[in-house]
Structure 1
Amino acid sequence: MALNLTQEHIDRMKAHGERAYPHEGCGLLVGRFDAVTNEKTLVNLVLLENAWTDDVAADLAAADLATHGQETTPVMTKARRYWIDPQDLFETQRQARQDGLAIIGVYHSHPDAEAVPSGCDRDLAWPSYAYIIVSVRHSIAADLQNWQLDDNHQFQPEPMNIVPASAAKDRMPLLSS
């Protein structure tokens, strides 16, 4: 698979990661899956607030305890974790369907860390989604990488095709977020 997106999409993710620093920023990728070409095309980038709270951390720790018989995830903060509010997810999915689109992935930033998925990122990831991670170092976006889960539930790099903005306007209109 590959992800088609514009430079504007990349610039918006980087800027959002910088604004969220020193916390993780996050958002949803809305677009189309093409089964024929085996590509995803990003149409709309929905930037969201990181909804990570102590309650989310406690819920995940309780799920670890129920699943593994022990807590395996250390207590974290917004500086090392993100959470998409289920209401934001629902609203984005509803709007995407109205527009004939789908959620095709997730974006988030890693403050002062590599643009490489963590174990928690892998544990909470869904197959076929694109997972873009922006590395933000000392409040400046330094790197951006795209990942996808393989059949063994391991992240593998997923290529990104940067579509020129002029071509993107003809083939994939940008929606406001």
Structure 2
Amino acid sequence: MKLVIDKEALGTMHRHAESTFPYECCGFFYGNDGQVRDITQAIPVENSKKGDQRRRFEISAFDYMQAEKYAAENDLALLGIYHSHPNHPARPSEHDLKQAVPFFSYIIISVMDGKVAKTTSWQLNDALKFEEETIEHETTLKQ
């Protein structure tokens, strides 16, 4: 799958990732789904993980319901979840794989020493393994 990310949506994700460093951030992204996933909005949510948020994130059931409601009310598709990896590569962990569901794209933002270093996206394939997606953007994306 190919993703095209609006510069404002990407900026929202990157600012959120840097502002929560050294903890993981998380949020949803929305847009239109077709041959290409066109991401037009990103909305941060609170990392509700109890304990060490440096290596884990969790999104509450309430936030999931709100995300689905927002998508329906705004005629958008809820396309996936983004989260950060503080001082860690932008590759999915085993924990990420265990939490993943089909259809969603998973954007991972590597933040090294407080600055975005790389942004990738992943989706489950038919074998339930992560497959990297292609990202295009309106501005220069750190990769």
- TM-score, L = length of structure 1: 0.74
* 2:6 aligned with 1:2: no
Q: How far apart are 1:102 and its partner, in Å?
A: 2.1
Q: How far apart are 1:87 and its partner, in Å?
A: 0.8
Q: Unpaired runs of 5+ in structure 1? A: 55-76, 165-177
**Structure-1 separation of matches of 2:75 and 2:23:** 33
CA RMSD of aligned residues (A): 1.3
Q: 1:84 maps to what in 2?
A: 59
- Paired letter, 1:11: G
Q: How far apart are 1:125 and its partner, in Å?
A: 0.5
Larger CA Rg, structure 1 vs 2: 1
Q: How far apart are 1:48 and its partner, in Å?
A: 1.1
Q: 1:118 maps to what in 2?
A: 93
SS of alignment partner, residue 158 of structure 1: strand
Q: Unpaired runs of 5+ in structure 2? A: none
Q: How far apart are 1:8 and its partner, in Å?
A: 2.5
- TM-score, L = length of structure 2: 0.91
* 2:81 aligned with 1:106: yes
Q: How far apart are 1:140 and its partner, in Å?
A: 1.1
Query: Is contact 2:107–2:119 with CA below 8 Å preserved after alignment?
Result: yes
1:1-177 map, 5 Å: 1-34=1-34, 37=35, 39-54=36-51, 77-163=52-138
**Structure-2 separation of matches of 1:162 and 1:143:** 14
Which structure features the higher share of strand residues? 2
Which structure features the higher share of helix residues? 1
Moved more, 7-16 or 134-143: 7-16
In percent, how many aligned pairs have the same letter?
A: 32
**Structure-2 separation of matches of 1:3 and 1:47:** 19
Q: How many residues align?
A: 139
Give CA-to-partner distance per residue, 1:48-98, whole Å, 9 cap, x none. Answer: 1111015xxxxxxxxxxxxxxxxxxxxxx2110001111111011111101
